[in-house]
């Protein structure tokens, strides 16, 4: 659905995007992950025909972003990083105006506006559609921007940092909405927060310094980059019985147990990165052992991310010294 080959974008002497290639299948939700200045927005702007690449190709639904930009625009809904709304307009007015710009037939406009308003949670409270854009909270502005991107029911959604600046509750509702939209759209969304994209995306593309640093499903990335998973648990049980039990659920040789009073603190490394938390919980349940902690420490894709950011910062610092 989205095809990018050898894309490069230079701003004068700055290479913002440096020869990246990737492919997004129809129906897939892809997270474009990278630190500040990695080249995420630049790539998304090329995909949405906002500016041309210096070299390389990009196409959406088979349409080239340069030679066939009209059809690309018809196929995409774009929610930019800083949503440029018209503050002097009311929500309803703005969406009707945008529907007209999108060449939605006059008779259909109201229905389409109602559809996206409902989808993006703008139909509540009752007076929301009559509020002025300038008085909306950040979260509602983001919702309006997303509603705008959805008006012409595009098969592809391109969302640049859709949750940035939102509070935790709003982040949750935006995430839920994205998951829901994922059923009907191919989505590419950018973020510099790993936990964010891990929960919403089935594929991740990690970009740093304008280059792709890693790509794959969250669990593939975890396996290839972070290595084996590590489960930490605390169970009230006899040490030997517990060891025996653990041996039945994992081939991992590496089980560490530390006794803390009556509790056994377990660290379990699994060589094949399987998440055995459910098995550990079942083991405790079946034996009538109390379980007071159970977590997967392999969540540290975060570490990898910090590592990339760190290396990029060093490179940038070196460049500025030279």
Ligand X SMILES: Nc1ncnc2c1ncn2[C@@H]1O[C@H](COP(=O)(O)OP(=O)(O)OP(=O)(O)O)[C@@H](O)[C@H]1O
- Give contact residues for ligand X (rule: CB under 6 A): 11, 14, 16, 34, 36-42, 81, 192
Q: Mapping DSSP to helix (H, G, I), strand (E, B) and coil, where does residue 146 land?
A: helix
Tell me how far the alpha carbon of residue 64 is from its chain's centroid.
Answer: 25
Q: Angle 106-119/91-101 helices, nearest 10 degrees?
A: 130
Residue 311, CA distances (Å) to 25, 59, 208 in order: 30, 31, 9
Residue 42 interacting partner from Mg ion, ligand X, none (CB closer than 5 to 8 Å by kind): ligand X
Q: In whole angstroms, how close is the CB of 18 to ligand X at the nearest point?
A: 10
Buried/exposed 21-41: b ≥16 CB within 10 Å, e otherwise: ebebeeebbbbbbbbebbbbb
Residue 37 interacting partner from Mg ion, ligand X, none (CB closer than 5 to 8 Å by kind): ligand X
Q: Measure the CA–CA gap between 68 and 91, rounded to whole angstroms.
A: 31
Q: In whole angstroms, how close is the CB of 264 to ligand X at the nearest point?
A: 43
**Closer CB to ligand X, residue 43 or residue 170?**
43
Half-sphere CA count of 94, side-chain side, radius 13 A: 27
Q: In whole angstroms, how close is the CB of 80 to Mg ion at the nearest point?
A: 9
Sheet holding 263-270, edge to edge: 255-260, 263-270, 229-236, 290-296
Residue 182 interacting partner from Mg ion, ligand X, none (CB closer than 5 to 8 Å by kind): none
Residue 154 interacting partner from ligand X, Mg ion, none (CB closer than 5 to 8 Å by kind): none
Q: In whole angstroms, how close is the CB of 78 to ligand X at the nearest point?
A: 14
Residue 34 interacting partner from ligand X, Mg ion, none (CB closer than 5 to 8 Å by kind): ligand X
**Closer CB to ligand X, residue 58 or residue 99?**
58
Residue 226 near residue 302, CB atoms below 8 Å: no
Site residues (CB under 5 A) for Mg ion?
A: 40-41, 81
**Closer CB to Mg ion, residue 41 or residue 250?**
41
Residue 39 interacting partner from ligand X, Mg ion, none (CB closer than 5 to 8 Å by kind): ligand X
Q: In whole angstroms, how close is the CB of 124 to ligand X at the nearest point?
A: 31
**Closer CB to ligand X, residue 104 or residue 205?**
205
Residue 310 interacting partner from Mg ion, ligand X, none (CB closer than 5 to 8 Å by kind): none
**Closer CB to Mg ion, residue 34 or residue 77?**
34
**Closer CB to ligand X, residue 14 or residue 247?**
14
Q: In whole angstroms, how close is the CB of 209 to ligand X at the nearest point?
A: 9
Contacts (Cβ under 8 Å, ≥6 apart) of 183 = none
Residue nearest to Mg ion (CB): 41
Q: In whole angstroms, how close is the CB of 189 to ligand X at the nearest point?
A: 12
Contacts (Cβ under 8 Å, ≥6 apart) of 90 = 129, 130, 131, 132, 133
Backbone angle region of 106, left / alpha / beta, with phi > 0 → left and psi within -120 to 50 → alpha: alpha
Residue 206, CA distances (Å) to 132, 198, 221 in order: 38, 12, 10
Residue 123 near residue 117, CB atoms below 8 Å: yes
Q: Measure the CA–CA gap between 121 and 125, rounded to whole angstroms.
A: 9
Q: In whole angstroms, how close is the CB of 35 to ligand X at the nearest point?
A: 7
**Closer CB to Mg ion, residue 18 or residue 81?**
81
**Closer CB to ligand X, residue 32 or residue 94?**
32
């Amino acid at each position: 659905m989205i095809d990018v080959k050898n894309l490069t974008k230079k701003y004068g002497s700055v290479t913002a995007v440096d020869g990246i290639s990737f492919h997004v299948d129809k129906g897939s939700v892809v997270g474009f992950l990278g630190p500040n200045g990695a080249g995420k927005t630049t790539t998304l702007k090329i995909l949405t025909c906002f500016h041309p690449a210096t070299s390389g190709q990009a196409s959406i639904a088979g349409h080239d972003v340069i030679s066939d930009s009209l059809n690309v625009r018809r196929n995409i809904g774009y929610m930019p990083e800083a949503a440029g709304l018209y503050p002097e307009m009311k929500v309803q007015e703005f969406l009707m105006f945008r529907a007209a710009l999108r060449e939605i037939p006059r008779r259909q406009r109201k229905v389409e506006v109602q559809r996206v308003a409902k989808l993006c949670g703008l139909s509540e409270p009752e007076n929301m559609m009559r509020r002025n854009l300038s008085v909306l909270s950040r979260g509602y502005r983001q919702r309006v921007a997303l509603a705008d991107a959805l008006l012409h029911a595009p098969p592809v959604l391109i969302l640049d940092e859709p949750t940035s600046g939102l509070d935790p509750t709003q982040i949750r509702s935006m995430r839920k909405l994205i998951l829901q939209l994922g059923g009907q759209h191919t989505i590419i969304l950018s973020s510099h927060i790993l936990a964010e994209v891990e929960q919403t995306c089935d594929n991740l593309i990690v970009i740093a310094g304008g280059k792709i640093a890693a790509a794959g499903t969250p669990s593939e990335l975890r396996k290839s980059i972070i290595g084996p998973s590590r489960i930490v648990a605390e169970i009230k049980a006899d040490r030997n019985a517990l060891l025996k039990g653990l041996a039945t659920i994992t081939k991992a040789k590496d089980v560490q147990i530390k006794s803390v009073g009556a509790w056994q603190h377990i660290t379990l490394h699994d060589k094949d990165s399987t998440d055995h938390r459910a098995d550990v919980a079942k083991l405790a349940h079946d034996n009538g052992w109390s379980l007071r902690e159970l977590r997967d420490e392999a969540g540290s894709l975060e570490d990898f991310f910090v590592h990339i950011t760190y290396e990029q910062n060093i490179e940038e610092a070196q460049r500025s010294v030279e």
